[in-house]
Amino acid sequence: MKKKSLKKFLALALVSAMVCGVTGCGGSSSGSSETVTFMTIDFNAGASNTGANAQAIKDKIEEYTGVDFEIEWVLNDVLEEKTTLALSDPSTMPMIMTWGGTVTGNVVSSAKQGAFVDLNDYVWDSEKYPNLSQMLKSVADSLTVDGKLIAIPRTRVVGRYGLCYRTDWAEKLGVTLPENATPDDVYNMLYAFTYNDPDGNGQQDTIGMEMTSYTGVFDIIQTWFGCGNGWAEVDGKLVPVHMQAEYMEALDWIKKVYDDGLMPADWAVRTTDTWSNGCKVGENGVYIDVMDSGKRIWNYFKAEETWTPSVVDPSTNATMTLYGAVNGRTLATAGYNGYFTLSASTCNTPEKIEAALTLLDKLCDDEMLVLTQYGLEGVHYTIDEEGYLVDTDTEDKTLQGDYAGLNQLLAFLPSAEYTPSPSVKKGETDIAQAEAYEAALPYAILNPAASYLVNSATYADIGSTLAEYVTQARTQYICGEIDLAGLEAAHQRWLDEGGQKIIDEVNEQYNANK
């Protein structure tokens, strides 16, 4: 089915469902009058919440929340297909649906047709929903379509992106980044890591920066030069960052890194599933993305089976510095990654809406955060003398399967950084990550157009298609496949084929809110 035909079909189906009405879910044995159907993502190849204790864990959730629920697990690779099918027949939509990424495309179109419950009428009640009601306004705005709050975010740390580097390599070569590092400082580190033999083996077998086909790294680097996060305010108007003067300065810097051999020549065809391998095996020394990946590389160096000696002191393991912002700037996350919607067709009474929101809210309580992420005390973990949680199932995949995937039900509100009690004792890498997040937060650049893009009809329709023009041209320019004229032609194509309409629609809203 063609794209326009599919959208028309979805719209007609949704309108029909809103007019005709549908019957909701049946009764419950836990005291709730509703059974909540919950479609969520399975990252465990069919092994989520399976095992001898799986039902016991689910029973405990139902007992604690007072809500019976049924989970429909959907493999991440087919999530978009499943959600599209659900939207085409609203009467069969699960009460709670999990979506990946941020609000775009069909979700916006469907929201405009009334597919989802307006949560503004419910979720800000702090007595009923003490966790959900603490959602950040900036995040809520980006989940709002035509004034209606259509989703609960899966909350993420805002100051999560930054630069990480191999500490021992930097110390050996004398290129440790100063407190207020500039792009030139980073370039000098990359050059030294590539050509000054940081591993001391006498061979030129290292490349400064890890990189794969995922180009989000460039979005982070662009902020170092003054670019915004997707969009920026320039002379009182919101524009996409590729229209900023600083954009070309950033691209020329990245192109120089590429031309000088400081990142893998084949980066554009390297898959993301092996992204951190270069740092782990000693090919690269700089990793730019979420800083928790830098922590995981550090943990790899520490692990007994992959223990990696420091080039400065071989009696100790190598470490990573989670540096964060460069030039006083880094990219902010959207504050969420994925979200939950309540289907208006099946959550069609206040009682059903309350049951669904109660489940989502109470899953954020300490008891549920521990249960869904660590399992049962005495089976999956114990509590030590200091009161810390100690995993006892780390080598038993079968036991881990009991609760595997249940963390996909969590909104992590009020904060993704909240630590439940009891919790695992933080090691040096956990402490370093927390400090890096906190340090990056004041310098994390937010997208000023996020809430307006959600309500741009043109962006919802063709925004992702247009974005490909810009990202592909950026890659081609960096790799020398097109020159400046080719880059500018791609940017003009973006404008001509709908980009200017998006700018106009965004700024109409922006000016109205000034």
Q: Which CATH architecture is the domain 161-331 placed in?
A: 3-Layer(aba) Sandwich (3.40)
CB atoms within 10 A of CB 434: 16
pLDDT score recorded for residue 15: 37
Q: Is the pTM of this model over 0.85?
A: no
Q: What is the pLDDT of residues 455-474, one digit of tens each?
A: 999 998 899 899 999 999 99
Confidence at 389, pLDDT banded by 50, 70, 90: very high
Confidence at 204, pLDDT banded by 50, 70, 90: very high
pLDDT score recorded for residue 8: 39
> Could you give the dihedral angle defined by the CA atoms of residues 172, 174, 178 and 183, in that order, rounded to the nearest 10 degrees?
-110
Q: What is the pLDDT of residues 393-447, one digit of tens each?
A: 988 888 999 999 999 999 999 999 899 999 999 999 999 999 999 999 999 999 9
Alpha-carbon gap, residue 407 to 38, rounded angstroms: 13
Q: Reply yes or no on whether the pLDDT at 272 is more than 90.
A: no
CATH code of the domain occupying 8-157+335-424: 3.40.190.10
Average pLDDT over residues 332-360: 96
CB of 285 closer than 8 Å to CB of 196: no
Average pLDDT over residues 326-355: 96
Confidence at 97, pLDDT banded by 50, 70, 90: very high
Q: Reply yes or no on whether the pLDDT at 83 is more than 50.
A: yes
- State the sign of the Cα–Cα–Cα–Cα dihedral 112, 113, 119, 122: positive
Beta bridge partner(s), residue 68: 35
Give kind and range of the element (H or E) at residue 96. Answer: strand 96-99
Q: What is the pLDDT of residues 326-337, one digit of tens each?
A: 999 999 999 999
Where in the chain are all domains bearing CATH 3.40.190.10? 8-157+335-424, 161-331
Q: What residues have CB less than 8 Å from 242, skipping those under 6 apart?
A: 470, 474, 491, 494
pLDDT score recorded for residue 326: 98
The radius of gyration of the chain's CA atoms, rounded to the nearest angstrom, is 24
For all residues of the chain together, what is the average pLDDT?
92
Helix (H, G, I), strand (E, B) or coil at 111: helix
Q: What is the pLDDT of residues 130-179, one digit of tens each?
A: 999 999 998 999 999 999 999 999 999 999 999 999 999 999 999 999 99
Q: Reply yes or no on whether the pLDDT at 209 is more than 80.
A: yes
% the chain with pLDDT above 70: 94
Alpha-carbon gap, residue 293 to 118, rounded angstroms: 36
Q: Reply yes or no on whether the pLDDT at 353 is more than 80.
A: yes
| Length of the chain in terms of residues written | 514
Q: Reply yes or no on whether the pLDDT at 242 is more than 60.
A: yes
pLDDT score recorded for residue 104: 79
What is the 3-state composition of the chain as percent helix, strand, coil, each rounded to the nearest 5?
45, 15, 35
Confidence at 2, pLDDT banded by 50, 70, 90: very low
